[in-house]
Structure formats: C-alpha cells, structure tokens
Amino acid sequence: MSQQPRVLLTGGAGYIGSHTAVALIEAGYAPVLVDDFSNSSPAVLKRLEQLTGQPVVCERGDVQDRPWVEGLLRRHACQATIHLAGFKAVGESVAQPLKYYRNNVGGLISVMQAMQAVDCRAIVFSSSATVYGDPASVPIDETFACAPESPYAHSKLVCEQMLAAQAKAQADWRVGVLRYFNPVGAHPSGQIGEDPGGVPNNLMPYIAQVAVGQREKLQVFGNDYPTPDGTGVRDYLHVTDLALGHVAAVKRLLQCPGSFTVNLGTGAGTSVLGVLRAFERASGRSVPFEFVPRRAGDVAQYFADASLAASVLGWRASHGIEAMCRDAWHWQQRNPLGYAGEVAHELRGSGEKSRLGSFSDAI
C-alpha cells in the first residue's frame, strides 16, 4: 500500500478539481477524486493519467449521500478532504436558490458528518471572494465584512460559518477556508482546462471562444465604472497557482493544528479591456467587442490582499495575466469543443456509484 497521504477531492473532475488533482499528485499526495459529473466530463480522467503518468482514482456519486462518502473515506483511509463539489453559477442561484443551498450547504454537511464518523478531521473548503459582496475599498483582506449578494455567495458563507462552528465545538477539527478570486487559464500542457458547456458566463472562456471563431464578439458589460479605463477590474488567478494553493493548504492542515481563512488571488487587478488586449497578444487574433450596459450585480473593482496566504501557507501566485491568456488560448485551440467528443472512459461496476474504469485498480 502506498504511503502517500490520501486526500478525498470532491468535485475532482471539474475545472479546479482536475488542476488540483495534478498538483496533489506532483506534490506526493494520493487524491481520491469524487464527482457526479453533473458539470464535468469523465474524459478528463484519461487526460489526468496522461499528464501525471499515474493511475487516477475516481469514484462516481453524489456527496450528499453521507453513508457513501463515509464508506469512501474508510475504504481509502483518507487523512483529509478538499471539498470543491458545488454549484457555482451566480445567476442560476438567484433564480433557483434552494437548489444552491441544498447542494452547497447540504453537500458540506454530508461530507463533514462522514468525516466525523471516521475520525477524519482536516478539511480544505473552496469558498469564494464573492462572500465579501461589494467591498468598501480594495485591496480586500480577510478582515473585511462579509456581505454576500447572491444565494450562491451566501451558500458559501453559510458553509464557512458551519465549518467555524464545528472547529469551535471540536478542537481537533482543522479547517482551511480558501476564498478564491477569479480562476482562469489552463494547464500549460493544454490537456486540461475549463469546459464551461453552452454560453460561458465568465470573461476568459468567452474571450477564448471569440478568438477561436465560435462566437462573434465579446460584450463588455459596462464602460462607465470608476476604474482607469471604465471597465470592471478583477483579480485573475492562474488555475495552476490556485491548485498549488490547495496543496499548500492541505499540507499545512496535516502538519499543524488550527484553522485559517485566506484569500487566494494575485493582489493585482486587471480590467476587462486589459484582459482582452492581453488575450489578443497571446493569441495573435483580434477579439471584436462592443460595450453594453453593466451586468446586474457586478461591482467595479475587486482584488485581493493576498499577504495572509503568503504568511500562513507560504503561497504566492507566480503567473501573470500574459501566462493566463497564453494557457487559456493553448487549451482552447487544442480543445475547441472542450472535452466533448472525447471517448469517455467506460464506466465499470454496477449502479449509480460505480468505480471508474481501471482507475480504481491503483488502490
């Protein structure tokens, strides 16, 4: 049996999960991926094996099934959990709030109860900078008041509060909350990346689809913000840096008692036009755009004070916007339809919650 620390990675086949899986394997951990593939493709698993040169363990199912999660934690003898599984579309959460609370809050309760039952006490939680709402100033540090403006953001804050309550009630729990800013880009190999499916909500995948010729032009939401060029400013973070943030967080939890909440961002803001121009440079393509009115709920400026993550985790983002655009473009060119069309791994086993293909042979 391998001596590598086993880490349950929920949402492991998704955009952030897949990059985190690579980073964990490269750092000497043995992730056990869990996914229901509601917003991801089994095709990513083969790519992960190609990238890492190792078998990848993935289990299919819904994290809200507590006995099933408990069984997984026991069977794989996981020492920690990284909980990424959740819904993330802000607009959809406004239209269907119960779906978001049920999945995001309910999923975490189930995972924590399963951990409690098997004496697994270390959890890294995927939160979001949207918990801050419209900040009074920038950069945003972790002492800022939280004022979530959507059910999605509120569901993340409720999860944070639940984790804090549990850590207070039971001193042996170790909780690492990561408040992500705007993850973008892809693995530099072009093998894994963001596959939004349908019309992208987010800026970078939309720009990439315009650049590759799938969409006519970008709509820039607002050019009258109080920012240097009038367009919204965000803290874009290379997804491989974000993945390393998870590795640093789980490492810290396994080594030291105690809990933390940190921002993960670069600390630098880039405007919509700044991203567009950087993407044009990276791709050599022009990206047509038009200005349209502001999108409801958007704020003018949003970027992190990321110094706490540096001091607590020894983590700093190392990629700038040029590398983010370069890698997003590489992924888009190699996979214009994302993972669609890829021959999915044959699902073996019976029933809903089968182990996936040969991947489980590793354990």
Residues 197, 212, 333, CA angle at the centre, nearest 5°? 80
In whole angstroms, give the CA distance from residue 98 to residue 105: 10
206 near ligand UDP, judged by CB under 6 A: yes
- Contact partners, residue 350, CB within 8 Å, separation at least 6: none
Closest separation in Å from C-beta 186 to ligand UDP? 15
Catalytic (active site) residue 152: yes
- 């991926």: which residue's tokens? 33
In whole angstroms, give the CA distance from residue 321 to residue 269: 10
Closest separation in Å from C-beta 258 to ligand UDP? 30
| Under 8 Å between Cβ of 192 and 22 | yes
- Contact partners, residue 198, CB within 8 Å, separation at least 6: none
Position closest to ligand UDP via CB: 232
User: β-pairing, 6-10 with 30-35?
Assistant: parallel
Closest separation in Å from C-beta 12 to ligand UDP? 22
DSSP E strands, 142-190 = 174-180, 182-184
Closest separation in Å from C-beta 335 to ligand UDP? 19
Report residue 312: phi and psi, to 5°.
-80, -40
C-alpha 116: how far from its chain's center? 24
Closest separation in Å from C-beta 182 to ligand UDP? 5
149 near ligand UDP, judged by CB under 6 A: no
Closest separation in Å from C-beta 226 to ligand UDP? 13
In whole angstroms, give the CA distance from residue 227 to residue 85: 34
Stretch that binds ligand UDP, among 2-10, 114-122, 141-149, 212-220 (CB under 6 A): 212-220
295 near ligand UDP, judged by CB under 6 A: yes
| Under 8 Å between Cβ of 72 and 363 | no
| Under 8 Å between Cβ of 362 and 6 | no
In whole angstroms, give the CA distance from residue 101 to residue 151: 7
Task: Determine the size of the site formed for ligand UDP (CB under 6 A).
Answer: 14
One residue of 243, 249, 272, 328 binding ligand UDP per CB under 6 A? 272
Stretch that binds ligand UDP, among 93-101, 135-143, 217-225, 258-266 (CB under 6 A): 217-225
First to last CA, the chain: 7
203 near ligand UDP, judged by CB under 6 A: yes
* Joined tokens for residue 41: 């493709």
150 near ligand UDP, judged by CB under 6 A: no
Q: Taking CB under 6 A as the criterion, which residues in 99-128 touch ligand UDP?
A: none
Stretch that binds ligand UDP, among 9-17, 28-36, 195-203, 208-216 (CB under 6 A): 195-203
Q: Taking CB under 6 A as the criterion, which residues in 226-265 touch ligand UDP?
A: 232, 234
Stretch that binds ligand UDP, among 71-79, 154-162, 213-221, 315-323 (CB under 6 A): 213-221
In whole angstroms, give the CA distance from residue 68 to residue 354: 11
Query: Is the Cβ of residue 65 or residue 298 nearer to ligand UDP in the bound state?
Result: 298
Query: Is the Cβ of residue 52 or residue 219 nearer to ligand UDP in the bound state?
Result: 219
Given 152, 180, 206, 302, which residue is catalytic? 152
182 near ligand UDP, judged by CB under 6 A: yes
Closest separation in Å from C-beta 268 to ligand UDP? 14
Which residues are identified as catalytic?
152
- Which residues make up the interface to ligand UDP (CB under 6 A)? 182, 201-203, 206, 218-221, 232, 234, 272, 295, 298
